[in-house]
Chain A
Amino acid sequence: MDPREKRFLDCYESDADAVYRHAYWKTHDAELARDITQESYLRAWNALAEGRQIENLKAFIFRTATNLVIDHYRKKKPLSLDTLAEAGFDPGEDDPAVLGTAEAREALAAVSSLEEPYRGTLLMRFATGLSIAEIAAVEEESENAISVRIHRGLEKLRGILKP
């Protein structure tokens, strides 16, 4: 096997769950999240097969997943992206996250109530489990900017969770 093929499949093994979670927090639809995960990897491979240079495969796949979520909602409802985001990030009653503890559910609800970009960044950090460097790569921002964003997001979260 071509070492590049092996690297690609290894990347799937190590990151597939995170990509799935990433899609899941944006759709709250387990089936859709699974399809988006598969499609993200397929698109990444096709891009490589077309000879495209991909500096950071993991970040590329996460960005593809985000775009697929947006595409999905764009096709589904003729709504603005802001409205989509508002609708998309509300955890439903049948959310698998409700399987967790009451504290976890409270934290998820609090994070989901934040405005962008704090919501997306904190979800990636605490719900998807990406590092600051990985979030910076996905968002195409500096690590410093992401750190500041997380710090400010946590400040806002503290105001929500305290009472």
Chain B
Amino acid sequence: MNDKLSHLEKAAKEIRLTSAERSHIKMRLAEEVRARPLPLRGPVPSPHQRFFASPIFIALAVFLMVGSSTAFAATRALPGDPLYALKTDVFEPAEAAFQVSPTARASWQVHLASLRLQEAGRLAYAGRLTPATQATLAAKVAISTADAARAVTALEAVDPEGAQTVAVDLDATLLGNAAPLATLALSEDRTAAPVLAAALSSATSNESVSAADADLGAGTSGATQAEPPTVVSEPALPADTGPSRSGDAAPGITARPHPLTFGATLAPSADDATGSPIAEPGESVSVTGAAGVRILSVPAGSPEGYGNGSEIVPFAASTSANAKLSGGRARGSAMTKNAQLHATTTAGADFNTALDLFSRVHAIARGE
């Protein structure tokens, strides 16, 4: 068959215009070409030039420019900004999807917790920490820190070494952001408070005591200086979170004014308790004095670990303690049913669970 086809191909080539016909047609074409010249135009654009000038490319370029600048702006967004929801509900979940291994997922949770705490710090510094943003962030931090703690404990089963690394990171994150954490723990979102308090007490019960703790410790111990009811704190900067800086080591340091004025909702110092409108006589509070402040102040030499007596417990000791800490706003009103539901489902942990989680993280961080 192929042989016959090649015969056909060969014979077909004989079918062509005669040279006279070719010349005739060519002359006719040349006439037409002269009679109807092509419209003037610039050089023919190359395929590349055509691509760059194509509507698809332009649309793509505009999309990428707008998209990337929006994405960049979104990464800087703070609660209350229009792009904040984009950041937390779109970009972060998208990035989370790329965290495949359990270690990466745990690290990511720690990173998220760190981001939320940094946002709280930035908001406070910018003077934009309203009750609304405070509550928003408190809930988010509660969820992310509890998730991070859970991820660490889950990771320990498969990768103890990795878990320890991540646990140390979480520990450092919480400790390094103790001030914003405390601020958020005092938010109106009472459901988040126990979790945050647990995270805070867990972090600050470490041997390392942040500079903020030291300052506050000094501030409370020197409360006889008649500090105003507003106790202010310096934010715990990572650089200041050196080990073994105790309150005793800095007796002369007093609390310095700083935008992170969470003291406004705190009870005054123990010495002022009688004048406090919060610590009402007869109110059954298991601790006395500046409960909220003491959360941050771990006196030197105090036994390490969380919940060591009256020093750290107050946030969770009772609802009255909560009431006390919230400056009376939530006094006597324990969590509503919805709030409790929220605490156990959304935040993912009630206080005890959170405390268990964070103590477990500590144990992991210390390599126990």
Contacts and interface: CB of A to CB of B under 8 A. Distances in A.
Do they bind each other?
Answer: yes
Interface of A: 2, 4-5, 8-9, 12-13, 16-17, 20-21, 24, 34, 37-38, 41-42, 45-46, 48-51, 96-97, 99-101, 103-108, 110-111, 126-129, 154, 157-158, 161-162
A132 B60 CA distance: 34
A129 to B, nearest CB: 7
B25 interface: yes
Chain A, interface SS category: helix
Chain B interface residue count: which class?
20 to 34
B12 A8 contact: no
B337 interface: no
B55 interface: no
Contact of B8 (A17, A96, A104, A162): A104
Given A103-B3, A103-B4, A126 B26 contact: no
A24 B5 contact: no
A49 B37 contact: yes
Contact of B26 (A9, A45, A97, A99): A9
26 contacts: A4-B38, A5-B38, A9-B29, A9-B30, A12-B25, A12-B26, A16-B17, A34-B21, A38-B25, A38-B29, A45-B29, A45-B32, A48-B38, A49-B39, A50-B39, A104-B7, A105-B11, A107-B4, A107-B5, A107-B7, A108-B8, A126-B8, A128-B12, A129-B13, A157-B5, A162-B1
Interface string B29-71: 1101100111101000000000000000000000000000000
A34 B25 CA distance: 9
B22 interface: yes
Nearest to A97: B11
Nearest to B34: A5
A62 to B, nearest CB: 15
Interface of B: 1, 3-5, 7-17, 21-22, 25-26, 28-30, 32-33, 36-39, 41
A41 B8 contact: no
Given A9-B29, A103-B3, A105-B11, 7 more contacts: A12-B26, A17-B16, A45-B36, A96-B15, A106-B4, A107-B7, A108-B8
Contact of B1 (A20, A48, A157): A157
A20 B14 CA distance: 11
A78 B253 CA distance: 108
